[in-house]
Amino acid sequence: MIKVLEHGVMKITCPNCKAKLQYEQEDIYVEKRPGGLQYIICPDCNNRVTVKKSINLDGDFDDIRL
């Protein structure tokens, strides 16, 4: 069973250093190009961690996995 613990807080693991990260919407950066990736910066290793979907040029959504 899935329970809501807190709204607006998301969690992810950095694929580079394996740090467990917690972030909110305002922490997300967006590449300034069509279909640009949405990512956060790991504060431990400064690696980009992709966190959101991107839009292909055909308008479809794809999950981004590292």
Q: Say yes or no to pLDDT of 63 above 80.
A: no
Q: Say yes or no to pLDDT of 4 above 50.
A: yes
The domain of 35 spans: 10-62
What one-character-per-residue DSSP string does 8-41 give? T-EEEE-TTT--EEEE-GGG-EE-SSTT--EEEE
Residue 22 lies in a domain: yes
Residue 50 lies in a domain: yes
- 56 burial level (CB within 10 Å; 0-12, 13-18, 19+): exposed
Lowest-confidence range among 6-10, 14-18, 37-41, 57-61? 57-61
Residue 25 lies in a domain: yes
Query: How many Cβ atoms sit within 10 Å of the Cβ of residue 49?
Result: 19
- Using pLDDT thresholds of 50, 70 and 90, give the confidence band for residue 52: confident
Split into its structural domains, the chain has a count of 1
Per the prediction, the chain carries an average pLDDT of 80
Mean pLDDT of 42-62: 72
Residue 52 lies in a domain: yes
